[in-house]
Structure 1
Amino acid sequence: MCGIVGLYLKNPALEARLGELFEPMLIAMTDRGPDSAGFAIYGDEVAEQSIKLTLRHPDTEFDWEDLAEQAKTGLSASLEWFQNANVAVFKLAADESAARQWFAEHAPDVLILSIGRSIEILKEVGLPVEIAERFSLASMQGTHIIGHTRMATESAVTMEGSHPFSTGMDLCLVHNGSLSNHNRLREALRREGISFETENDSEVAAGYLTWRLRQGDTLKQALESALQDLDGFFTFTIGTRNGFAVIRDPIACKPAVLAETEDYVAMASEYQALTSLPGIEKARVWEPEPATVYAWERQGQ
């Protein structure tokens, strides 16, 4: 049992309050996932031909400034960075493949949590309220955000095994449920050039979507293919640079609820996680249908 929450802002005037609005939603899912929590936030885009990497090192005293200087020289790229707890965000004038290769060779102990032009992923072991406080979630700004609280039932309680998972540019996934064919699918995806950091079945689902998008699928097409190729039961919420999507398997045994107003679209595993949102009493609220893609995306990016 895990908890999922997501918030997509349609009203730009609310972007400065994204973290403030989202924090109580994440904390409300504590009973569904008390062992770890995380979120992917979209905003603060870097310029064209640049990327943003969210990096984590297990040593809380790790020297990020030294690594930044090394990366700047090694990649011959301009670089800006900032630190948030034991995570750092590097903004680089480089391409994805070159950056991944450089960090793999020169900083193998550093885990790339996400890479893209907009996304930042922050996650840790602990209660959702502790994770929110550690990363100052309430003060964050952006256009949309998805989060997850985990109750580990099939693997160890680790930061690496917590959600969200990201396997491609600006794409991430959170999952409530379990997949039965993830081991076979993982090996097939590795042959297609998709790499994985954990044995978590949810990371395989993220990798599958990354692969389909690289084949030229739209997000909707990739998710429709997932209904055919992923065995098991699941509710997925997916974040992209342009927006977010929700999909449930054909049986839809995992709970989910959506709410929409003129200002936002919100998703949660339970309605009680939405009650703190402004105007929720006037929102259109419904349970997403099985095997149906629901997506909200900005155009022109």
Structure 2
Amino acid sequence: MCGIAGLFIKDPTLEPDLGRLLARMTSTLRGRGPDSAGFAIYADATPGLVKLTFAAPEGTDAEALATRLLAALGVGGIAAVRHTHAVVTLPAEDVVRAEAWLSEDAPEASVMSTGNRLEIYKDVGDPDDVAAAFAISRMAGSHGISHTRMATESAVTTDGAHPFSTGADQCLVHNGSLSNHASLRRALRQDGIRIRTENDSEVAAGYLTRKMRDGESLDEALTSSLKDLDGFFTFVVGTENGFSVLRDPIACKPAVMAETDRYVAFASEFKSLTVLPDIASAKVWEPKPATVYFWEHS
């Protein structure tokens, strides 16, 4: 059983509150899964630069590892350290080199995400503790998604926690279970999609990445998933500028949404929406089965 929350800010004056609101929404879902938690934050971008967020190996200083990485690359990048994670901002052409260096010199480190705006923070433990460790409440951004998990199909580890990112500025959280993830995982790996865990949700993220790499829009890729992914699921997907929701045709997993002039929000339970401003005047509804919902900044 998992809990999902998502918040898409329409009013820029609310962006400084993104992390605080998302952390509060996630806190209300603690009972749905206290094993691990994660947050994807779409923060400001720097033209020409890409963020690479990684989790340092246990017992390794994230700041020291980030410093070694930048020195090895010989670039004037910037490193911001938050708890066990480091966000290294690099010229776009150096991201592949950075990933290769981490794979060779720090193989136990895990790349959480890459992208112009996306930063992913996740860890084992209670979501309130995870949010506090990374100071999620102090983060600003235009949109974000979160997840708290009770592990069923894979180990309770940082890598196994949601959100999952298999493409630049793209991430996914999932409530449900896929029955054909093993065969899909093999096919995705053969197609060059990097899948690190046995979690079926990472397979779903990789599936969307492959579809979009092959020319489909996110809307088209999500529509295709209704045919190709066997199981029951609710997906919340983040992209550089957008936020999307999809439930499977049976839609047995709980989901509720709210929209005002200032934001769009998603949660597994209505109580998560009650922490939001002006929720009493919001349009509140249950997303329909097999229907793609998408909001995007212009």
TM-score by length of 1: 0.95
Corresponding residue number in structure 1 for 2:135: 136
Deviation at 1:128, TM superposition (A): 1.0
Corresponding residue number in structure 2 for 1:24: 24
2: CA distance, partners of 1:270 / 1:109:
36
Partner-residue secondary structure (3-state), 1:211: helix
In structure 2, the CA distance between the partners of 1:158 and 1:93, relative to structure 1 (3 Å rule), is same
2: CA distance, partners of 1:107 / 1:45:
27
The aligned length equals: 297
Partner-residue secondary structure (3-state), 1:295: strand
2: CA distance, partners of 1:19 / 1:63:
22
Deviation at 1:101, TM superposition (A): 2.2
Aligned ranges 1:279-294 → 2 under 5 Å: 279-294=278-293
Deviation at 1:210, TM superposition (A): 0.7
Consecutive unaligned residues of structure 1, counting only runs of 5 or more, are none
Corresponding residue number in structure 2 for 1:125: 124
Deviation at 1:246, TM superposition (A): 0.4
Tell me whether 1:71 sits opposite 2:69 in the alignment.
Answer: yes
Match of 1:94 among 87, 92, 95: 92
Q: Is the 8 A contact 2:122 2:162 kept in 1?
A: yes
Corresponding residue number in structure 1 for 2:41: 41
Deviation at 1:63, TM superposition (A): 5.4
Q: Is the 8 A contact 2:62 2:85 kept in 1?
A: no
Tell me whether 1:105 sits opposite 2:138 in the alignment.
Answer: no
Equivalent position amino acid for 1:133 in 2? A
In structure 2, the CA distance between the partners of 1:63 and 1:39, relative to structure 1 (3 Å rule), is closer
1: CA distance, partners of 2:130 / 2:189:
32
1: CA distance, partners of 2:163 / 2:33:
13
Deviation at 1:249, TM superposition (A): 0.5
1: CA distance, partners of 2:32 / 2:258:
20
Partner-residue secondary structure (3-state), 2:275: coil
1: CA distance, partners of 2:52 / 2:46:
11
Partner-residue secondary structure (3-state), 1:91: strand
Aligned ranges 1:269-284 → 2 under 5 Å: 269-284=268-283
Tell me whether 1:59 sits opposite 2:58 in the alignment.
Answer: yes
Consecutive unaligned residues of structure 2, counting only runs of 5 or more, are none
Task: Describe the superposition over 1:141-174 as per-residue Cα deviations: whole angstroms up to 9, x where unpaired.
Answer: 1100100010112222222111001111011100
Deviation at 1:73, TM superposition (A): 4.1
Task: Describe the superposition over 1:198-247 as per-residue Cα deviations: whole angstroms up to 9, x where unpaired.
Answer: 01000000001111111121111111111111100000000111011000
Q: Is the 8 A contact 1:46 1:52 kept in 2?
A: no
In structure 2, the CA distance between the partners of 1:133 and 1:68, relative to structure 1 (3 Å rule), is closer
Deviation at 1:58, TM superposition (A): 3.0
Task: Describe the superposition over 1:162-190 as per-residue Cα deviations: whole angstroms up to 9, x where unpaired.
Answer: 10011110111000000000000111111
Task: Describe the superposition over 1:242-301 as per-residue Cα deviations: whole angstroms up to 9, x where unpaired.
Answer: 0110000011011101100000000000101000100101101110011100011112xx
Match of 1:83 among 81, 84, 87: 81
Deviates more, 1:214-223 or 1:89-98: 89-98
Deviation at 1:20, TM superposition (A): 1.6
Corresponding residue number in structure 1 for 2:216: 217
Aligned ranges 1:159-238 → 2 under 5 Å: 159-238=158-237
Q: Is the 8 A contact 1:148 1:174 kept in 2?
A: yes
Deviation at 1:23, TM superposition (A): 1.5
2: CA distance, partners of 1:188 / 1:61:
34
2: CA distance, partners of 1:116 / 1:101:
16
Q: Is the 8 A contact 2:254 2:269 kept in 1?
A: yes
Q: Is the 8 A contact 1:75 1:94 kept in 2?
A: no
Deviates more, 1:151-160 or 1:192-201: 151-160
TM-score by length of 2: 0.96
2: CA distance, partners of 1:99 / 1:57:
14
1: CA distance, partners of 2:251 / 2:96:
37
Partner-residue secondary structure (3-state), 1:275: helix
In structure 2, the CA distance between the partners of 1:181 and 1:262, relative to structure 1 (3 Å rule), is same
Q: Is the 8 A contact 1:68 1:79 kept in 2?
A: no
2: CA distance, partners of 1:83 / 1:98:
20
